[in-house]
Amino acid sequence: MTSNTVLRWGLYGILFLFAAFYLMPLFVMLTTSLKSLEEIRTGSLLALPREITFAPWAEAWSTACAGTQCEGLRPFFWNSVLMAVPAVAISTVVGALNGYVFAQWRFRGANLFFAAILFGCFIPFQVVLLPMAQMLGLMGIAGTIPGLIFVHVIYGIGFTTLFFRNYYVTIPQELVRAAKVDGAGFFRIFWSIFLPISLPIITVSVIWQFTQIWNDFLFGVSFSGPGSQPVTVALNNIVNSTTGVKAYNVDMAAAIIAALPTLLVYVVAGKYFIRGLTAGSVKG
Amino acid sequence: MPILEIDHLQKAYGDTHILHDINIAIEPGDFLVLVGPSGCGKSTLLNCIAGLEPITGGTIRIADRDVTGVSPKDRDIAMVFQSYALYPTMSVAKNITFGMQVRGVDKATQERKLAEVARQLQIEQLLNRKPGQLSGGQRQRVAMGRALVRDPALFLFDEPLSNLDAKLRVSMRTEIKKLHQDLNASIVYVTHDQIEAMTLATKIVVMKGGVIQQIGTPAEIYNKPANMFVADFMGSPAMNLIPARVRAEGGQTRIEIDRPGDAPLVITDPVARDLPAEIVLGVRPEDIHEATGNAHLPGTAQGAGGDVLIEIVEPAGADTFAVTHLGGKPVTARLRAESAVQARKPFPLAFDLSKVSYFSPKDGQRLN
């Protein structure tokens, strides 16, 4: 064996160790969620379930108690869907238009505007909680799903604008000029020329926004009412409101259910995510 | 009626003036070439004509209509861009018909015009391809097709050949010239390549620093450059610009040029001229001939030359270039290929004084 192959195997070994270390919590979650409470109490944390049971999953989905409401995660899961899908769509569309303007329709003071929007990406959530609550109250959408959509759209525009602007800035200005001479206007050029080449960056924007919005807890817990809590808040309540024996298996199943949609998005679109993130640099 | 008339055009970004008092008029069928070094404002001027850049002052008229504040789409122009600017997701056919589609031209007309242009440019077999699958020359054709199909009053070309390799550039140049002749189209064409300007234009505008240096036919620009910049910029190898002293002598003009290691070379222009004491003599390499004893070449007068020390000889196939040093400047003569000229030996050269230019060394302006 040459020293090269030794190195190679060593490398694989280390990578395998890291991967195992990283996947350990997921493994524990999965196995625990498939064990009965009895088995959890008597067995080891790392052991595979002796007898697989899906009862904890069913309970987490439809009967677990979050506070006084014992309907499982289901209603909150749909709240999250109703919140995340429009918020992702709106912030992506607005970001695309913003980025298109910043990259291709430069106007006086555009740099200042862009800097201001970028600044929005770095404002911590906590800072805006109180003014946002006031704002939502004034608009009459406090404690509702539209209110949450509004908050997430506002907070997401900074990022989506940045994505699209950096993508469109690599596209030569002559393309817009040619289209102008051809007779196309602002929206026609966007629709016919820019949108068709945007799939990679749309994917990036959708994954990023969906992950952010679906996983958000702070806005969800601050701005939701009893009927509009997203799944992350409900998960917290389920885990915290068990009385007597702690149902670890139900908690684990609930946590996995809450995380499934973001996992799904990565599996479906992850390939484009990597491609989109590097698209600008490759074209150079 | 001029097809394009630019009157006192000014262009400035804040306090930075890009174009100064531009006045140009061309007739239908003219091929106007804007030429100059990079940064001279020629592309900006083209964009002003297209309406892609707003202008600070003056007016632009296209086909006898004031278009100064009119948007590009309503100027009755079509443009070919340096990078071709083909729409990457559309097929060649879509690229060519996009303009018509936007303008709501009916499908049958679109199809007919597409077929016409495709045949004219010989790109019929490419119509279903995407721009990414085309070679540079093919993209160039598609970009021209997109302009041709519109049948506008005025075509604008922004350095369309600069991204092609040397050989393709020459053949596309010929094709553009042929296209111009066949269609009798009115064209404004920007290039930094003076050979392109000479071969294509019916009218040339030489620009530098946002100021027009000279407007004229290729022959005028070449033979009677208005100043030393134009003289130096147009022509390859460039015109020789030789510092010299002038003495008027009995109805003749005596011109003295310093010659290294020898007495000054004195040549005699038989015409009395009103010249200052110090001048710059401009003479094209092909207007310096081998002085052959008594047999005068056409246009050369007796005493229009003398022996000079040749430094370098560069045979170039059809011609032989001989480089010497006069008035402190290298001077190139274009001689016959079979010339007996040798490096590091004196050789008799004569200037064709009927074709020389005299410039003022102070402001570089033409004196004769």
Whether A180 sits inside 8 A of B83 (CB atoms) is: no
State the pLDDT at residue A276. Answer: 63
- Report the residue of B47, B67, B73 to disrupt the A interface, i.e. the one with the largest count of A CBs within 10 Å: B73
Instruction: Flag whether pLDDT at B295 surpasses 50.
Output: no
Nearest CA in chain A to B154: A181
On whether residue A264 sits in a domain, the answer given is: yes
Provide the CATH number for the domain around residue A169.
1.10.3720.10
State the pLDDT at residue B108. Answer: 95
The per-residue DSSP string of B233-283 comes to HSSSSPPEEEEEEEEEETTEEEEEE--TTSSPEEEEESS-----SEEEEEE
- Report the residue of B89, B95, B149, B190 to disrupt the A interface, i.e. the one with the largest count of A CBs within 10 Å: B89
On whether residue A86 sits in a domain, the answer given is: yes
State the pLDDT at residue A64. Answer: 86
Chain A: closest CA distance from residue B33 (Å): 20
Residues A48, A84: one domain?
no
Residues A214, A105: one domain?
yes
Residues A41, A155: one domain?
no
Torsion of CA A112, A114, A119, A120, to 10 degrees: 130
Instruction: Flag whether pLDDT at B181 surpasses 90.
Output: yes
- Report the residue of B13, B87, B90 to disrupt the A interface, i.e. the one with the largest count of A CBs within 10 Å: B87
Which residues of chain A fall short of a pLDDT of 70?
Answer: 1, 242-243, 275-284
Residues A84, A21: one domain?
no
Of the ranges A239-253, B28-42, B200-214, which one carries the lowest mean pLDDT score? Answer: A239-253
Residues A152, A219: one domain?
yes
Distance separating alpha carbons of residues A5 and B92, to the nearest angstrom: 51
Q: Are B3 and B10 in contact (CB under 8 A)?
A: no
The neighbour count for residue A16, using CB atoms within 10 Å, is: 10
On whether residue A245 sits in a domain, the answer given is: yes
DSSP B52: S
Tokens of B60: 């632009």
State the pLDDT at residue B302. Answer: 54
* Reported ipTM: 0.83
Residues A37, A93: one domain?
no
Of the ranges A246-260, B66-80, B185-199, B260-274, which one carries the lowest mean pLDDT score? Answer: B260-274
State the pLDDT at residue B293. Answer: 58
Question: Which band of pLDDT confidence, cut at 50, 70 and 90, is reported for residue B174?
Answer: very high
Whether B88 sits inside 8 A of A197 (CB atoms) is: yes
Residues A81, A190: one domain?
yes
Chain B: closest CA distance from residue A279 (Å): 15
Measured between alpha carbons, how far is residue A95 from residues A106, A157, A213, B155 in Å?
A: 16, 6, 15, 37
Residues A165, A221: one domain?
yes
On whether residue A111 sits in a domain, the answer given is: yes
Q: Which residues of A touch B (CB under 8 A)?
A: 172, 174-175, 177-184, 188, 192-193, 196-197
Determine the structural domain holding residue A10 and report its residue range: 2-53
Residues of chain A contacting residue B71, judged by C-beta atoms under 8 Å apart = 180
Of the ranges A235-244, B94-103, B229-238, which one carries the lowest mean pLDDT score? Answer: A235-244
State the pLDDT at residue A281. Answer: 40
State the pLDDT at residue A284. Answer: 30
Average predicted confidence (pLDDT) for chain B:
91
On whether residue A62 sits in a domain, the answer given is: no
Chain B: closest CA distance from residue A168 (Å): 13
Whether A196 sits inside 8 A of B89 (CB atoms) is: yes
Residues A29, A158: one domain?
no
Length of chain A: 284
How many structural domains compose chain A?
A: 2
On whether residue A65 sits in a domain, the answer given is: no
On whether residue A63 sits in a domain, the answer given is: no
Residues A258, A146: one domain?
yes
Residues of chain A contacting residue B153, judged by C-beta atoms under 8 Å apart = none
Residues A93, A151: one domain?
yes
Q: State pLDDT tens for residues B328-354.
A: 899 999 999 888 899 999 898 988 888
Task: Quote the pTM value.
Answer: 0.82
Contacts of residue A54, defined as CB under 8 A and 6 or more positions apart, other chains included, come to: A34
On whether residue A60 sits in a domain, the answer given is: no
Q: Are A272 and A203 in contact (CB under 8 A)?
A: yes
- Report the residue of A167, A174, A182, A191 to disrupt the B interface, i.e. the one with the largest count of B CBs within 10 Å: A182
Whether A174 sits inside 8 A of B146 (CB atoms) is: no
Instruction: Flag whether pLDDT at B359 surpasses 50.
Output: yes
Residues of chain A contacting residue B81, judged by C-beta atoms under 8 Å apart = 174, 177-178
State the pLDDT at residue A240. Answer: 85
Q: Are B145 and B121 in contact (CB under 8 A)?
A: yes
Residues of chain B contacting residue A192, judged by C-beta atoms under 8 Å apart = 87, 90, 98
Residues A78, A143: one domain?
yes
Instruction: Flag whether pLDDT at B272 surpasses 50.
Output: yes
Nearest CA in chain B to A173: B85
Report the largest interatomic distance among the alpha carbons of chain B, rounded to a whole angstrom.
Answer: 79
